[in-house]
């Protein structure tokens, strides 16, 4: 009789536990600590901790139509255990354009990697970008590394660049607006005049890229470039950097340390060996300062600089 009663009690608790949804007691202790430290909700399924970073603070419209957060504005960070218990972290952060570069800098400054930056929509207001993040390490250490970036989301003021400075005096029609010799010296090679724009282009012949036996060179799009518009005192720079995968985050750090904004990180080509990633950037300021940022990015390129899986 006592045995039967114990079996009934045991069965009752088994059924009770089966009926309870996933709770904190089901989440491994180290992941519980991650959620508590980040102060965010998440769940643990299929050996993955997923931390929710939804943009409930945004009121997004697409082509004028109000669009709810679950439609595509729910950011996340996930962790799972790899060999030896080392955590692998990946995530996709949903950011306004004002948040992109402060969040990117916070990630880089704390040892995280940024692996992609792109858009998902047309005609959305406000403009939304998606940043993919990556890291390895102990769970709580990764939480410490990513928290400064997460804490910025929803708390970045409009960028100062939105306020337009007074325009510098325009160059005369017969005077080119840039001191090209000075810019050439900073870049380390000569640029070319394209109307009122001064442009530098540098190939990646060190990558020895081919397709169907054809050499893919700078003229085919395998290049890094910087274009300058405006004048020496008040210039804009826009450009593209062609990188091996192992060079990406070093180039990001170089550009951000010189105040240049990252606009996109993506592919231009498929099935190439090595894999080539392209990064677009933009900035505004004195031309010499902008050129120094471009040169700093170029200095991170090359087989002797960074090793890794490309």
Are 26 and 102 within one domain?
A: yes
**What pLDDT score was predicted for residue 134?**
96
Are 35 and 148 within one domain?
A: yes
Determine the Cα–Cα distance for residues 157 and 30; give it in Å rounded to an integer.
34
How long a stretch of residues is the chain?
A: 310
Among 145, 118, 157, residue whose Cα is nearest residue 37 = 145
Are 152 and 235 within one domain?
A: no
**What pLDDT score was predicted for residue 20?**
40
Q: Please, which residues have CB within 8 angstroms of residue 120's CB and are 6 or more apart in sequence? A: 72, 128, 130
Determine, yes or no, domain membership for 9.
no
Determine, yes or no, domain membership for 7.
no
Distances in whole angstroms, Cα of residue 260 to Cα of each of 101, 123, 147, 205, 280: 9, 25, 23, 26, 10
**Residue at which a domain ends, from 160, 194, 214:** 160
Specify whether the CB–CB gap between 181 and 196 falls below 8 A.
no
Handedness of CA 55, 61, 67, 70 (dihedral sign): negative
Q: What burial class does residue 172 get, using C-beta atoms within 10 Å of its C-beta: 0-12 exposed, 13-18 middle, 19+ buried?
A: exposed
Are 65 and 188 within one domain?
A: no
Are 25 and 156 within one domain?
A: yes
Strands 124-125, 197-203: parallel, antiparallel or unpaired by DSSP? unpaired
Determine, yes or no, domain membership for 1.
no
Determine, yes or no, domain membership for 11.
no
Determine, yes or no, domain membership for 4.
no
Structure tokens at 182: 């000075």
Are 84 and 199 within one domain?
A: no
Among 167, 169, 172, 112, residue whose Cα is nearest residue 144 = 112
**Total number of domains in the chain:** 2
> Could you tell me how many helices (H) and strands (E) the chain has, helices first?
7, 17
**Domain, as residue range, for 131:** 20-160
Determine the Cα–Cα distance for residues 203 and 102; give it in Å rounded to an integer.
30
**What pLDDT score was predicted for residue 167?**
53
pTM score, two decimals?
A: 0.84
The tens-digit pLDDT sequence of the chain (310 residues) is 555 555 555 554 444 443 344 454 589 999 999 999 999 999 999 999 999 999 999 999 999 999 999 999 999 999 999 988 899 999 999 999 999 999 999 999 999 999 999 999 999 999 999 999 999 999 999 999 999 999 999 999 875 554 555 555 555 557 999 999 999 999 999 999 999 999 999 999 999 998 888 899 999 999 999 999 999 999 999 999 999 999 999 999 999 999 999 999 999 998 888 899 999 999 999 999 999 999 999 999 997 676 666 6
Determine, yes or no, domain membership for 172.
no
Are 184 and 55 within one domain?
A: no
Distances in whole angstroms, Cα of residue 65 to Cα of each of 74, 94, 154, 186: 18, 19, 22, 48
Are 78 and 193 within one domain?
A: no
Are 197 and 281 within one domain?
A: yes
Q: Please, which residues have CB within 8 angstroms of residue 109's CB and are 6 or more apart in sequence? A: 148
**Residue at which a domain ends, from 100, 128, 160:** 160
Are 232 and 156 within one domain?
A: no
Determine, yes or no, domain membership for 12.
no
Determine the Cα–Cα distance for residues 56 and 67; give it in Å rounded to an integer.
11
Are 222 and 145 within one domain?
A: no
Determine the Cα–Cα distance for residues 150 and 145; give it in Å rounded to an integer.
10
Are 57 and 154 within one domain?
A: yes
Determine, yes or no, domain membership for 197.
yes
Determine the Cα–Cα distance for residues 183 and 292; give it in Å rounded to an integer.
9
**Residue at which a domain ends, from 160, 194, 229:** 160
Q: Would you give the DSSP letter of residue 258?
A: T
**What pLDDT score was predicted for residue 259?**
97
């Amino acid at each position: 009789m006592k045995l039967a009663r114990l079996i009934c009690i045991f069965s009752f608790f088994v059924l009770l536990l089966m009926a309870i949804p996933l709770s904190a007691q089901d989440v491994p202790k180290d992941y519980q600590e991650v959620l508590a430290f980040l102060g965010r909700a998440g769940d643990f399924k299929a050996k993955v901790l997923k931390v929710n970073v939804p943009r409930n603070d945004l009121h997004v419209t697409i082509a004028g139509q109000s669009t709810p957060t679950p439609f595509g504005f729910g950011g996340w960070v996930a962790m799972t255990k790899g060999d030896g218990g080392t955590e692998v972290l990946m995530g996709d952060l949903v950011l306004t354009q004002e948040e992109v570069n402060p969040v990117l800098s916070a990630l880089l400054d704390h040892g995280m990697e940024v692996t992609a930056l792109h858009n998902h929509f047309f005609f959305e207001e406000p403009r939304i970008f998606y940043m993919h993040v990556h890291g390895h390490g102990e769970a709580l250490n990764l939480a410490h590394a990513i928290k400064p970036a997460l804490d910025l989301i929803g708390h970045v003021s409009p960028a100062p660049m939105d306020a337009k400075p007074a325009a510098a005096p325009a160059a005369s029609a017969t005077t080119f607006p840039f001191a090209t010799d000075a810019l050439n010296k900073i870049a380390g090679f000569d640029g070319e005049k394209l109307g009122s724009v001064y442009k530098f282009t540098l190939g990646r012949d060190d990558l020895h890229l081919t397709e169907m036996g054809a050499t893919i060179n700078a003229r085919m799009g395998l290049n890094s470039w910087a274009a300058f518009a405006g004048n020496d005192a008040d210039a804009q720079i826009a450009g593209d950097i062609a990188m091996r995968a192992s060079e990406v985050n070093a180039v990001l750090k170089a550009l951000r340390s010189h105040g240049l904004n990252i606009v996109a990180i993506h592919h231009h080509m498929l099935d190439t060996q090595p894999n080539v990633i392209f990064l677009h950037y933009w900035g505004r300021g004195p031309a010499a300062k902008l050129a120094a940022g471009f040169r700093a990015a170029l200095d991170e390129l090359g087989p002797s600089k960074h090793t890794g899986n490309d």
